[in-house]
Structure 1
Amino acid sequence: MRSRKQILHFDDINHSHEAMGFSGRTDLPDFHIYTLEETYPSTRKVMPPYTLRFYCLLLLEENSQDAVIELNTRRMEGPSNTISFQAPGHVSAWVRGEAQQGFLLYFQPEFLSRHVISPMEEFPFFRPTESSMLPLTGTEKIALRDHFLRLERTFKNSLHPYRVPMLQAMLLALLFDCKGLYEDYCARQPSSSRSPSLSTQFLRLLEQHYLTRRTVQAYADLLHVTPNHLSHAISNEMGRNAYDLIVDRLLLEAKKLLSYTDLSVGEVANYLGFEEPTHFTRLFKRKLALTPLEYRHQATRERA
């Protein structure tokens, strides 16, 4: 019997290294940082779709043109001078180039728990609904590289008595620096705006409940506001319709399942909570001008 295509999942940082063929290991269960140059020659050439329980930051300084990165439904070929952000639940896949330079940083959610910060809520680039690949100017890349270098040096100094709290503080500094760069990047985009608290709360709830709550009324109830107030606030703050954001989050999950698994359209519809596959197909086609099967075939051709 043919085995089903599944999205790989890793709970443990060292386990993910083993699966990717990387010989390096971390002595801290919740944190690791290393250079891309260290991954040669052991790391596998092609990594199929996978998700992580933890967070990942990838700083690419230089990249060879044969490299490919896929993050959720976005694909970049030969990327350089970028930083990308992978959060728990994001689907990633890649083809390794032969001349990559940069840094990889992993941290478990618990690593920052003492600081009472939710990375998904505080840092928008970790949300699946936001852009998770950020282009960098030369000056921005140098500034971020300095952050990564300090983190790497501290990580390797395993005998320092304050190694872990120093890593936590430096990681927070890096993330907040990235947040500033991200907000500057979004401000330069034609339709973007900064997201005040109501939008932040809405997006956090959407990420928690998109499989079970499909109406603006449902989220308004959770936020203790009227649907009209929520819709108006989201439109003003984000330039997007609240219902469209709900549907888009659901369809993002559908696109990941159609692209990276061999689940049938009916099985995808059932997982997403549709009573009938035809309801899912109609919504998918209305929003994307493609049926789910047409989208799957298109995604397969693009990945070939």
Structure 2
Amino acid sequence: MDKIVKFESISQYNEAMGLETFHPLVSVVELEKMNPSKPMGKMRISYGFYTVYLKDIKCGNIKYGCNYYDYQDGTLVFLAPEQVFSVENYKESVRPKGWALRFHPDLIRGTTLGQNIRNYNFFSYEVNEALHLSESERQIILDCFKKIDIELRHTIDKHSKTLIVRSIELFLDYCVRFYDRQFITRSHVNKDILVRFEKLIDEYFESEKTQLYGLPSVKYFADQISLSPGYFGELIKKETGKSAQEYIQLKLMDIAKDKLHDNSLSISEIAYILGFKYPQHFTRLFKSVTGQSPNEYRARN
């Protein structure tokens, strides 16, 4: 296993890449200007800060776990602090081209962005989930980067932090819009994933997995489809109007209703068959979803 190279601060990273540090907690860099002090071959890396890459030419791959990012020309990739990924450069003669935005969690502490950063789910997307930009979207992203860069080169004063953080927040809000567009334009792919999701749910409840592992989680199905839970959840929400968890629960209730028509099974037996540890948990969920208890449903049907 390759040793993990850790960069805890912006200044530490800039020093290793031969870059000037204008602000200790944030940087915007043209990738062409990097001049690493050591050869950048295959390596595993972890940052102590948020990083966003805008890649303009194909000069290497970013790998997370066992999979590669869906990382083509003109795409954005988001990395949260402490994520471990690897960089594999297969053309040493080709210099990277594009931009990178990095900002440390300390920059946004006590700000609205700091309070809402977890709502930007794309920082938890892991593989095959980069944001593909149109040319007009790419220009908007570049304008955001350049505005942040201009502010970084301005003499630091009492307004600096507010303006920089607001600019980063504006950039991230544009990314939310562009991801929404991507979910729509890739609808045919998303529908295939939804079909697979439904099939996986049926297979799970038809097998003995409920007795072995209990109720399935969103993460379980996301892993089966090789997506991160965050991206998978957003995709299901866009396609169905319901969260992935709600969708699983509705499918579970449909199966429960079928079993309630079998009078040879008690409520407790049905609960255990479906993967509930305690029958009362099944009763509580059934009533919250359907508005009636399992016994009431059975009596009326």
> TM-score under structure 2 normalisation?
0.56
Shift of residue 168, structure 1, vs aligned partner = 0.8
Contact 2:120 2:176 in 1 (8 A): yes
Contact 1:67 1:77 in 2 (8 A): no
Matched, 1:172 2:169: yes
State the one-letter code of the partner of 1:92. Answer: F
Quick one: which of 113, 138, 143 aligns to 2:140?
Answer: 143
Which position in structure 2 is the counterpart of 1:83?
76
Shift of residue 34, structure 1, vs aligned partner = 1.5
In the alignment of these two chains, the number of paired residues is 203
Quick one: which of 12, 15, 40 aligns to 1:15?
Answer: 12
Which position in structure 2 is the counterpart of 1:115?
111
Quick one: which of 162, 186, 190 aligns to 1:189?
Answer: 186
Compared with structure 1, are the counterparts of its residues 175 and 238 closer, same or farther at alpha carbon in structure 2 (3 Å cutoff)? same
Shift of residue 81, structure 1, vs aligned partner = 0.5
Shift of residue 160, structure 1, vs aligned partner = 5.1
State the one-letter code of the partner of 2:73. Answer: S
Which stretches in structure 1 are left out of the alignment for 5+ residues?
194-213, 220-232, 244-304
Compared with structure 1, are the counterparts of its residues 218 and 82 closer, same or farther at alpha carbon in structure 2 (3 Å cutoff)? closer
State the one-letter code of the partner of 1:134. Answer: L
Which position in structure 1 is the counterpart of 2:97?
101
Structure 1 residues 262-285: Cα deviation after superposition (integer angstroms, max 9, x where no partner):
xxxxxxxxxxxxxxxxxxxxxxxx
Cα distance in 2 between the residues matched to 1:168 and 1:183:
23
Shift of residue 119, structure 1, vs aligned partner = 5.5
Say what the alpha-carbon RMSD is for the aligned residues.
3.4
Compared with structure 1, are the counterparts of its residues 174 and 87 closer, same or farther at alpha carbon in structure 2 (3 Å cutoff)? same
Which position in structure 1 is the counterpart of 2:62?
69
Compared with structure 1, are the counterparts of its residues 77 and 185 closer, same or farther at alpha carbon in structure 2 (3 Å cutoff)? closer
Which position in structure 2 is the counterpart of 1:53?
48
Which position in structure 2 is the counterpart of 1:44?
39
Shift of residue 127, structure 1, vs aligned partner = 1.1
Cα distance in 2 between the residues matched to 1:217 and 1:69:
30
Bigger radius of gyration: 2
Compared with structure 1, are the counterparts of its residues 242 and 44 closer, same or farther at alpha carbon in structure 2 (3 Å cutoff)? farther
Quick one: which of 236, 242, 253 aligns to 1:237?
Answer: 242
Cα distance in 2 between the residues matched to 1:242 and 1:77:
27
Cα distance in 2 between the residues matched to 1:100 and 1:79:
13
